[in-house]
């Protein structure tokens, strides 16, 4: 039986890679993003190349009712979602003092409210069927506080904590929740967040590699998967929560600066 994957942020670098992975597996798609024109182009691309069916939903993720709009359109189309990929995310550099209230509220809605609501809406259906897989895109940034991206790091800590707790609660239901925790990736995310000139994003990982590792981890029902980290970064990331907070925050703040 053909399955369907709902992917938010589908037209972006990492989202586009997820789309290709599911389509190559023969899965139908619900493509969700902000730009209707880009969604239409992506729909034509995957339907022609992979012979799958794709539905598009254009929505502003910063709207408070974005998740409800997505869910309602899926129900109206009588589509059964088997995979939920919460990939859409919003970054943004700047101190807490400098950033506006609107910027921070928008980020919280995109990074926390939308994925939470989508899980709240779709998980009961997954549990009733005894099957379903969720992949939530978080970040390795979730492990520590992040000066000059304080809100972003905090939203990803929320996503990781919530996802892990829900995964535990669902462990006997046949439904899994996997959290992807990548390092810096070469995608439009960095550009949108004004991060392309920072040390952290000077050498981002390939979105194709990160998506593949997240996809495989989701299929296997793993809890967390780190991706896009160098051999040097991997052990360092594991030790970050144990390091003195002031020292690690100084390192993070330095990484937000320009390479010079």
Using pLDDT thresholds of 50, 70 and 90, give the confidence band for residue 144: confident
Annotated active-site positions, please? 152, 156
**pLDDT, position 258:** 56
The Cα 113–Cα 159 span in angstroms is 10
**pLDDT, position 51:** 97
pTM of the model: 0.87
What is 4-255's CATH superfamily?
Answer: NAD(P)-binding Rossmann-like Domain (3.40.50.720)
**pLDDT, position 145:** 86
| Residue in 171, 129, 142, 113 with CA at minimum distance from that of residue 1 | 129
| Residue in 70, 82, 76, 74 with CA at minimum distance from that of residue 25 | 82
Structure confidence by residue, pLDDT tens digits, 201-250: 446 689 999 999 999 999 999 999 999 876 656 656 666 666 666 666 67
**pLDDT, position 251:** 66
| Residue in 109, 54, 104, 63 with CA at minimum distance from that of residue 86 | 109
């Amino acid at each position: 039986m053909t399955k369907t994957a709902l992917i938010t942020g589908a037209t972006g670098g990492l989202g586009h890679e997820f789309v290709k992975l599911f389509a190559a597996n023969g899965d139908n798609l619900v493509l969700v993003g902000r730009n209707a024109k880009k969604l239409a182009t992506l729909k034509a691309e995957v339907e022609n190349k992979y012979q799958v069916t794709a539905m598009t939903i254009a929505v502003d993720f910063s709207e408070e009712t974005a998740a409800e709009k997505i869910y309602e359109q899926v129900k109206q189309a009588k589509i059964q979602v088997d995979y939920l990929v919460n990939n859409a995310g919003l970054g943004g550099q700047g101190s807490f003092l400098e950033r506006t209230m609107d910027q921070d509220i928008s980020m919280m809605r995109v990074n926390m409210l939308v994925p939470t609501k989508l899980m709240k809406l779709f998980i009961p259906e997954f549990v009733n069927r005894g099957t379903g897989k969720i992949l939530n895109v978080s970040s390795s940034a979730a492990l520590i506080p992040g000066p000059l991206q304080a809100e972003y790091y905090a939203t990803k800590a929320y996503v990781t904590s919530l996802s892990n707790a829900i995964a535990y609660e669902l462990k006997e239901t046949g439904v899994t929740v996997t959290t992807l925790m990548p390092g810096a990736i070469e995608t439009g995310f960095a550009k949108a967040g004004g991060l392309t000139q920072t040390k952290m994003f000077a050498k981002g990982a390939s979105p194709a590699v990160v998506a593949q590792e997240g996809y495989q981890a989701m299929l296997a029902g793993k809890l967390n998967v780190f991706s896009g980290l160098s051999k040097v970064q991997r052990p360092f990331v594991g030790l970050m929560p144990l390091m003195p907070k002031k020292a690690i925050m100084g390192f993070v703040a330095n990484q937000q600066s320009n390479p010079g």
